Structure 1
Amino acid sequence: MIRCEIRGENIEVTQPIRSHIEEKVAKLERYFTNVPNTHAHVNIKTYSNKKGKVEITIPMKDLTLRAEEKHEDLYAAVDLIIDKLERQIRKHKTKINRKFREKNPEADFFAAAEAVGLAENNKSEEDDDSIDIVRSKKFQLKPMDSEEAVLQMNMLGHSFFVFNDRETDGTSIVYKRNDGKYGLIETDENL
């Protein structure tokens, strides 16, 4: 069962909003043969320009689903996000089925498309799934702190930068977020 943890910023999460989100997220359960016992983390924000932003993240054992949408109508935003999450699930399912056709335990993680009454155009989804690596680079990771990595990233005009963190001696990544701020991803070999 997928349970919803709903949090609102600058908005009170009313019962109708909560019910709508829980109902829509519950529809995702039909894609799984064994419904995962997990939480959907839902964040709702409203801005002064009357637009709202809804984010839904569903971490599972083999897959993390995440989507966000900005819209004036929160109900419409939730509907659009559920569509995005369904596309992510179908895309992942197509990859799993193509990669592990012979006796793989992951293959039955997803319910059969026919069982849930979904018509998929497998050819178009397989075309969408093709991953073409068009360029490859090798470079040495230089020890630096995260502030220096952000400066290097901006100087190069990239949206992310991989470096060897001087403090932790591990590989880290800084990246530019959609809100214009920066994020840091650190590796931990103990996990």
Structure 2
Amino acid sequence: MDIVITGRHTQIKQKFRDVVESKMNRVTAIAPDAQRVQVVLTHEGNPRQADSAKRVELTVIAGKTVVRAEASSADEFAALDRALDKLTLRLRRTRDRRKDHRRGLEHAPLPMEVEVEQPQEPAEAPNPDNSAQQDAMASDLGPGESVEVQVGDTPIVIRRKLHIAEPMSIDEALYEMELIGHDFFLFVNKETGRPSVVYHRHGWSYGVFEIDTPENVAGGKK
């Protein structure tokens, strides 16, 4: 397994590299098919954030599966331990899910409440006069490509990026959201074909926000 360690606003000391490499056996023990782990150590220079000045981000790539975790502390080694604890928990869940599928068992539903919300009327968006800005926002993007556009004379910058995703169920989207450690996950619902977002509300409660056009809804699209 390749181990890539990088620093943001800080230099990586050899001791930290040695500790990272010695602890990565926890990853390979749970995910022997892991091909690469990326470790990013970030230093926050704001003295008011001394208690969380060091942040460690861990990303494991195993085939098409990407598992991510991060944690902060005043000390980079403590941050590493916390992030690694989160990562190994998510790796175990991934391993157990694969075992269930191989045994032909249905994945047990999460003890959760899912609320599907209807989209509200969109707020009026900024309307920049600059035609170049409009062209950039309307232009076609290739997979993985991105573009950033500043809105008029304001400090607002909008970044567009195209992601390619396979349609999936709500349960699969919640699972992917948990793996990457985010509070939301954008996906295409394979049951409805609609662009959708799952998000964490509180406790074991989750929400699903679906998007469609008035024409499709009026036409009876399900």
Instruction: Please state if 1:26 is matched with 2:25.
Output: yes
Q: What runs of 5+ residues in structure 1 fail to find an aligned partner?
A: 104-125, 143-147, 152-164, 173-180
Does the 8 A contact of 2:34 with 2:63 survive in 1?
Answer: no
Tell me whether 1:39 sits opposite 2:15 in the alignment. no
Q: How far is the alpha carbon of 1:95 from its aligned partner?
A: 2.4
Residue type matched to 2:62 in 1? M
Deviation at 1:42, TM superposition (A): 1.1
**CA displacement at 1:169 relative to structure 2:** 7.1
1:63-102 → structure 2 map (5 Å cutoff): 63-102=65-104
Structure 1 residue 10: Cα displacement? 2.3
Q: Which has the larger radius of gyration?
A: 2
How far apart, CA to CA, are the structure 2 residues paired with 1:20 and 1:4? 12
SS state at 1:135 partner: strand
SS at match of 1:134: strand
For normalisation by structure 2, the TM-score amounts to: 0.50
Q: Which SS does the other structure have where 1:36 is aligned?
A: coil
Counterpart in the other structure of 2:139: 167
Instruction: Name the residue aligned to 1:176.
Output: none
- Which digits, 9 at most, give the CA deviation of each residue in 1:134-185, with x for residues without a partner? 215589xx9xxxxx5xx6xxxxxxxxxxxxx73117899xxxxxxxx97644
The amino acid that maps onto 1:13 is I
Partner of 1:18, secondary structure, is: helix
Residues 130, 62 of structure 1: alpha-carbon distance in 2 compared, 3 angstrom cutoff: farther
Seq. identity, %: 17
Distance 1:137 1:17 in 2: 48
Give the AA of the match of 2:44.
Y
Q: With structure 1 as the length reference, what TM-score do the two structures score?
A: 0.57
CA distance in 2, matches of 1:17, 1:45: 13
The size of the alignment, in residue pairs, is: 135
CA contact (8 A) 1:8 1:44 kept: yes
| Structure 2 match to 1:186 | 162
- Map 1:2-151 → 2, pairs under 5 A: 2-32=1-31, 35-36=32-33, 38-48=35-45, 49=47, 50=50, 51-102=53-104, 129-130=110-111, 132-135=113-116, 137=118
Contact 1:170 1:188 in 2 (8 A): no
Residues 4 and 41 in structure 1, CA contact (< 8 A), matched pair in contact too? yes
Secondary structure, aligned partner of 2:33 = coil
Equivalents in 2 of 1:93, 1:65: separation in Å?
Answer: 11
* Gapped regions of structure 2 (runs ≥ 5): 127-136, 145-156, 166-222
C-alpha contact 2:44 2:54 (8 A) present in aligned 1: yes
Alignment RMSD (CA, Å)? 3.6
